[in-house]
Amino acid sequence: MQDQIRDILKSNHLSVTGSREKILGLFLLEPGALAHGDIEKKAGAKFDRVTVYRTLQTFVEKGIIHTIPTDDNSVLYALCKDNCTEGHHHDHHVHLVCNTCGNTYCLDNVVTPEIRLPKGYTSSQIDVVIKGVCANCNVSL
Protein backbone atom coordinates (compact mmCIF):
# COMPACT_ATOMS: atom_id res chain seq x y z
CA MET A 1 0.00 0.00 0.00
CA GLN A 2 2.95 2.27 0.68
CA ASP A 3 3.79 2.21 -3.02
CA GLN A 4 0.23 3.09 -3.95
CA ILE A 5 0.29 6.05 -1.55
CA ARG A 6 3.55 7.34 -2.99
CA ASP A 7 2.26 6.89 -6.52
CA ILE A 8 -0.85 8.93 -5.80
CA LEU A 9 1.15 11.72 -4.15
CA LYS A 10 3.72 11.70 -6.92
CA SER A 11 1.19 11.83 -9.74
CA ASN A 12 -0.38 14.85 -8.03
CA HIS A 13 3.00 16.56 -7.65
CA LEU A 14 2.85 16.40 -3.88
CA SER A 15 5.90 15.75 -1.78
CA VAL A 16 5.67 12.77 0.54
CA THR A 17 5.18 13.89 4.12
CA GLY A 18 4.29 11.88 7.20
CA SER A 19 0.81 13.36 7.48
CA ARG A 20 -0.01 12.93 3.78
CA GLU A 21 1.13 9.31 3.85
CA LYS A 22 -0.79 8.54 7.02
CA ILE A 23 -4.04 10.24 6.02
CA LEU A 24 -4.08 8.92 2.46
CA GLY A 25 -3.50 5.45 3.91
CA LEU A 26 -6.62 5.83 6.07
CA PHE A 27 -8.72 6.54 2.99
CA LEU A 28 -7.31 3.57 1.11
CA LEU A 29 -8.24 1.25 3.99
CA GLU A 30 -11.65 2.71 4.68
CA PRO A 31 -14.65 1.58 2.59
CA GLY A 32 -16.81 4.50 3.74
CA ALA A 33 -16.40 8.24 4.08
CA LEU A 34 -14.48 9.78 6.97
CA ALA A 35 -15.27 12.80 9.12
CA HIS A 36 -12.57 15.23 10.16
CA GLY A 37 -12.80 13.93 13.73
CA ASP A 38 -12.40 10.29 12.63
CA ILE A 39 -9.34 11.18 10.63
CA GLU A 40 -7.78 13.06 13.53
CA LYS A 41 -8.42 10.15 15.86
CA LYS A 42 -7.12 7.52 13.45
CA ALA A 43 -4.10 9.58 12.42
CA GLY A 44 -3.00 9.68 16.05
CA ALA A 45 -1.62 12.34 18.32
CA LYS A 46 1.39 12.85 16.07
CA PHE A 47 -0.63 15.10 13.77
CA ASP A 48 -2.43 18.12 15.15
CA ARG A 49 -5.76 19.49 14.02
CA VAL A 50 -4.25 22.09 11.72
CA THR A 51 -2.01 19.59 9.97
CA VAL A 52 -4.95 17.25 9.38
CA TYR A 53 -7.05 20.15 8.12
CA ARG A 54 -4.38 21.38 5.72
CA THR A 55 -3.69 17.89 4.42
CA LEU A 56 -7.40 17.35 3.70
CA GLN A 57 -7.64 20.72 1.95
CA THR A 58 -4.67 19.84 -0.25
CA PHE A 59 -6.17 16.47 -1.15
CA VAL A 60 -9.50 18.08 -2.05
CA GLU A 61 -7.78 20.71 -4.21
CA LYS A 62 -5.75 18.05 -6.01
CA GLY A 63 -8.76 15.88 -6.74
CA ILE A 64 -7.66 13.01 -4.50
CA ILE A 65 -10.64 13.17 -2.15
CA HIS A 66 -14.07 14.80 -2.37
CA THR A 67 -16.45 16.16 0.21
CA ILE A 68 -19.94 14.96 1.06
CA PRO A 69 -22.33 17.24 2.95
CA THR A 70 -24.04 15.96 6.09
CA ASP A 71 -27.23 16.79 7.99
CA ASP A 72 -25.39 18.70 10.69
CA ASN A 73 -23.65 21.04 8.24
CA SER A 74 -20.31 19.36 8.49
CA VAL A 75 -18.58 17.45 5.71
CA LEU A 76 -17.29 13.96 5.18
CA TYR A 77 -14.37 13.07 2.96
CA ALA A 78 -14.03 10.12 0.60
CA LEU A 79 -11.48 8.96 -1.94
CA CYS A 80 -12.10 9.99 -5.56
CA LYS A 81 -12.25 7.20 -8.09
CA ASP A 82 -13.48 9.13 -11.08
CA ASN A 83 -10.20 10.49 -12.43
CA CYS A 84 -10.53 13.81 -10.69
CA THR A 85 -7.77 16.29 -11.41
CA GLU A 86 -6.53 19.43 -9.73
CA GLY A 87 -9.43 21.85 -9.39
CA HIS A 88 -11.79 19.56 -11.34
CA HIS A 89 -13.82 16.94 -9.60
CA HIS A 90 -15.98 14.50 -11.53
CA ASP A 91 -17.61 12.73 -8.65
CA HIS A 92 -21.04 12.50 -10.20
CA HIS A 93 -22.16 9.67 -8.02
CA VAL A 94 -24.73 9.19 -5.32
CA HIS A 95 -23.91 8.76 -1.62
CA LEU A 96 -25.75 6.56 0.83
CA VAL A 97 -25.93 7.13 4.56
CA CYS A 98 -26.65 3.86 6.37
CA ASN A 99 -29.26 4.19 9.09
CA THR A 100 -27.93 1.06 10.78
CA CYS A 101 -24.15 1.51 10.98
CA GLY A 102 -24.07 5.26 10.39
CA ASN A 103 -21.40 5.08 7.69
CA THR A 104 -21.60 7.02 4.44
CA TYR A 105 -20.66 5.24 1.23
CA CYS A 106 -19.81 6.39 -2.29
CA LEU A 107 -21.99 4.53 -4.77
CA ASP A 108 -19.48 4.99 -7.56
CA ASN A 109 -21.61 3.31 -10.20
CA VAL A 110 -24.79 5.23 -9.46
CA VAL A 111 -24.66 8.41 -11.48
CA THR A 112 -26.24 11.58 -10.13
CA PRO A 113 -29.41 12.28 -12.11
CA GLU A 114 -29.28 15.29 -14.39
CA ILE A 115 -31.45 18.11 -13.14
CA ARG A 116 -32.87 20.69 -15.52
CA LEU A 117 -32.72 24.16 -14.06
CA PRO A 118 -34.83 27.14 -15.09
CA LYS A 119 -33.33 29.61 -17.52
CA GLY A 120 -30.69 31.80 -15.91
CA TYR A 121 -29.64 29.25 -13.31
CA THR A 122 -26.52 27.17 -13.51
CA SER A 123 -25.34 24.49 -11.13
CA SER A 124 -21.76 23.89 -10.11
CA GLN A 125 -22.29 20.83 -7.98
CA ILE A 126 -25.13 18.42 -7.31
CA ASP A 127 -25.02 16.39 -4.11
CA VAL A 128 -27.37 13.45 -3.81
CA VAL A 129 -27.36 11.82 -0.41
CA ILE A 130 -29.66 8.85 0.08
CA LYS A 131 -30.64 7.52 3.49
CA GLY A 132 -31.05 3.78 3.73
CA VAL A 133 -29.22 0.61 4.68
CA CYS A 134 -25.85 -0.42 3.29
CA ALA A 135 -25.02 -3.83 1.79
CA ASN A 136 -23.10 -4.96 4.87
CA CYS A 137 -25.97 -4.22 7.21
CA ASN A 138 -28.58 -5.73 4.88
CA VAL A 139 -26.68 -9.02 4.91
CA SER A 140 -26.69 -9.27 8.67
CA LEU A 141 -30.42 -8.67 8.98
Give the residues lining the site for Zn ion (CB under 5 A).
66, 78, 80, 84, 89, 91, 98, 100-101, 106, 134, 137
CB of 59 to Zn ion, least distance (A): 10
Instruction: Identify which of residues 48 and 138 has a Cβ nearer to Zn ion in the complex.
Output: 138
CB of 118 to Zn ion, least distance (A): 27
Residues 69 and 97: their CA atoms lie apart, in Å, by 11
Residues 74 and 79: their CA atoms lie apart, in Å, by 17
CB of 16 to Zn ion, least distance (A): 21
Contact between residue 101 and residue 84 where contact means Cβ atoms under 8 Å apart: no
Instruction: Identify which of residues 40 and 91 has a Cβ nearer to Zn ion in the complex.
Output: 91
Instruction: Identify which of residues 4 and 100 has a Cβ nearer to Zn ion in the complex.
Output: 100
Contact between residue 64 and residue 70 where contact means Cβ atoms under 8 Å apart: no
Residues 117 and 76: their CA atoms lie apart, in Å, by 27
Residues 23 and 25: their CA atoms lie apart, in Å, by 5
Instruction: Identify which of residues 49 and 131 has a Cβ nearer to Zn ion in the complex.
Output: 131
CB of 117 to Zn ion, least distance (A): 22
